[in-house]
Structure 1
């Protein structure tokens, strides 16, 4: 479930930290396509703020990159996977520092 759009997400995390078991990170752009997740830092999701919110309630579990990119003109599936992973690692570290 994508929860980042919920304006009450950050305060609600504190109410149920035991229900947080996995972070899937990506980004998305608008207008939105159901099969178009973007690389971290290239869209509208406040990744850094959400990472800090999860960490603030004690989450120390996995954080996985989620990329869906099908039937869009600039599909990430058409890029070099190694470059994509490196760029997202760098963007995730930046989001953490600035979040």
Structure 2
């Protein structure tokens, strides 16, 4: 059973929130973020005004996937993580 776009947004927000609160994460989480964002960006049910936030999250996950020190990358994006979580939560 495929996840609805709301389920995908919930999962995306949960991972970002965990990165924000734990200040750590894994490469597999960054890869999951990428897959979720790709799926959401092509979904016509997703509002156009959300697409810039999703693109920002995609860029964050790409950089995190290849970061030599992922935890430092996550820590450097603490403010953005909070903003993204808040922005994505407005769509629920």
* Same fold per superposition (TM over 0.5): no
State the TM-score, normalized to the length of structure 2: 0.32
Which protein is richer in helix relative to its size? 2
Which protein is richer in strand relative to its size? 1
State the TM-score, normalized to the length of structure 1: 0.30
Identify which of structures 1 and 2 has the higher relative contact order when contacts are C-alpha pairs closer than 8 Å and 6+ apart. Answer: 2
